[in-house]
Amino acid sequence: MTKQNEASWVESMKALSPTSSTSLPATDYQASWILHHPSALSMFEHIINASKGKEIVMFLDYDGTLTPIVEDPDQAFMSDAMRAEVKNVARYFPTAIVSGRCTNKVYSFVQLAGLYYAGSHGMDIKGPANGYKYKNGNPAVLIQPASEFLPMIEEVYKALVEKTKSTPGAKVENNKFCVSVHFRCVEEKVLEIRPTIKWDKGKALEFLLESLGLADCNDVLALYIGDDLTDEDAFKVLRDRGQGFGILVSKIPKDTSASYSLQEPCNGLFAPVGGVEETDYKRAFQGLNNRRNYPHPSKRRQEENVEIQGELHVYQRWATTNKDSRRVTSLDPSNSFSCKYFTSFFLA
Ligand SMILES: O=P(O)(O)OC[C@H]1O[C@H](O[C@H]2O[C@H](CO)[C@@H](O)[C@H](O)[C@H]2O)[C@H](O)[C@@H](O)[C@@H]1O
């Protein structure tokens, strides 16, 4: 990759990048955004009230939600305190971790049995087999809708490792049913290659609700907490179905289908601060629902896709470690520069 290519690619991606388009001054926009997406902490009582008499189901994204964003993806460890909080939540409610990472990786970070894990953006869903018994200590596979893509993804992974090995700051991550390529050399950015199947975190959420026998119930309240554009699919599903609330983790206003917001990764919610006492939280949740033996499972802001060889999509995200702007953009099929760039760089 030449410096010139890299620089013009950056410019091209910036031009394509979604903006917080508004004519309002920044502070007014922020204030108006927070009115529409109030802090989940300040709305805690409201959420609790809305869940009265309902089955709460928790969906939690991993990176940026249960852990802060860090530079090295292999070092995104979950704190013991957060693990304890998630474990506590999962004692009372069916709880799923929904992540772009492969299920095994996210499971190795979270290390909690009894949860559902929807890795590879929901393309690899595993969960407790026979209630809480894991087969050979591992979660059981519930669905892998992209399994036929495995050999292709493996091939793409190897090709990307080979192609990027001399690129400083590049790191290729095998997320089993998709591949992430992190670049640190110019700005922090991530390319993601995924199968073209119609499956995303929203579909994973629907699948899990159905598996739990809760899809068509009025008495379910699902909460989905996430920070990423890919979480918007799940926020939208919840909004469209009227079965719960999305909570967006973001310091800055963003277009979102989430109802509420959190400024920081979830330790703000699970270890309550800002006026909600821990005892209130536990009492509220404990009083709400003690159902433990739940059944064993038998228009987002569209990311534009690039079809590569008809079977893979390429997405591009921009991220900023621990800072306030986590920009997300995508390769656009109508942008010939992007397509050509990808094709020539990775697949030539
Ligand atoms: O769905 P998620 O659980 O949010 O996973 C999405 C991606 O997360 C990881 O990348 C992000 O977090 C890294 C660690 O903090 C950070 O270094 C990177 O810049 C972020 O993009 C993971 O590495 C990706 O494979 C996931 O797709």
Identify the CATH number of the domain in which residue 259 sits: 3.40.50.1000
Q: Are 186 and 102 contained in the same domain?
A: no
pLDDT at 23: 55
Q: Are 219 and 122 contained in the same domain?
A: yes
pLDDT at 88: 85
Structural domain includes residue 220: yes
User: What DSSP string runs through 105-174?
Assistant: HHHHHH--TTSEEEEGGGTEEEE-BTTTBPBTTBPEEEE-TTGGGHHHHHHHHHHHHHHHTTSTTEEEEE
Residue-number span of the structural domain to which 176 is assigned: 149-196+309-345
Q: Are 128 and 169 contained in the same domain?
A: no
Q: Are 48 and 186 contained in the same domain?
A: no
Q: Are 251 and 335 contained in the same domain?
A: no
Q: Among 40-49, 71-80, 260-269, where is mean pLDDT lowest?
A: 260-269
Q: Are 154 and 108 contained in the same domain?
A: no
Mean pLDDT within 302-323: 51
Structural domain includes residue 10: no
Q: State if residue 64 touches ligand 1 by the CB under 6 angstroms criterion.
A: yes
Q: Which of 63, 75, 184, 225 to mutate to test the pocket of ligand 1 (most atoms within 8 A of CB)?
A: 63
pLDDT at 305: 40
Q: Are 47 and 192 contained in the same domain?
A: no
Q: State if residue 319 touches ligand 1 by the CB under 6 angstroms criterion.
A: yes
Structural domain includes residue 2: no
User: What DSSP string runs through 203-257?
Assistant: HHHHHHHHHTT-TT-SSEEEEEEE-SGGGHHHHHHHHHHTSEEEEEE-SS----S
Measured from the CA of 175, which atom of ligand 1 is nearest?
A: 25
Q: Are 176 and 226 contained in the same domain?
A: no
| Domain end call among 212, 240, 269 | 269
Q: Are 100 and 215 contained in the same domain?
A: yes
Q: Determine which residue's CA is closest to atom 19 belonging to ligand 1.
A: 319
Structural domain includes residue 173: yes
Say yes or no to pLDDT of 270 above 90: no
- Looking at every residue in the chain, the average pLDDT score rounds to 75
| Domain end call among 243, 269, 295 | 269
User: How many distinct structural domains can be found in the chain?
Assistant: 2
Q: Are 76 and 165 contained in the same domain?
A: no
This prediction's pTM: 0.77
Q: What confidence tier does 26 reach under pLDDT thresholds 50, 70, 90?
A: low
Q: State if residue 76 touches ligand 1 by the CB under 6 angstroms criterion.
A: yes
Q: State if residue 228 touches ligand 1 by the CB under 6 angstroms criterion.
A: yes
At residue 182, what are phi and psi to the nearest 5 degrees? -95, 135
- pLDDT tens per residue across span 122-133: 999 998 844 444
- pLDDT tens per residue across span 193-222: 899 899 999 999 999 999 988 998 889 999
Structural domain includes residue 105: yes
| Domain end call among 242, 269, 296 | 269
Query: Of 128, 115, 179, which is closest to residue 153 (Cα–Cα)?
Result: 179
Residue 103 one-letter amino acid:
T
Q: Among 50-54, 303-307, 330-334, where is mean pLDDT lowest?
A: 330-334
What is the share, in percent, of the chain residues with pLDDT greater than 70? 66
Query: Of 267, 296, 183, 223, which is closest to residue 60 (Cα–Cα)?
Result: 223
Structural domain includes residue 303: no
Q: State if residue 122 touches ligand 1 by the CB under 6 angstroms criterion.
A: no
Q: State if residue 61 touches ligand 1 by the CB under 6 angstroms criterion.
A: yes
pLDDT at 145: 95
Starting at the earlier edge strand, list the strands of the sheet with 260-262.
Answer: 140-143, 124-127, 116-119, 95-98, 55-61, 220-226, 244-249, 260-262
Q: Are 94 and 235 contained in the same domain?
A: yes
Mean pLDDT within 334-338: 30
Say yes or no to pLDDT of 177 above 90: yes
Q: Are 120 and 214 contained in the same domain?
A: yes
User: Alpha-carbon distance 287 to 49, whole Å?
Assistant: 12
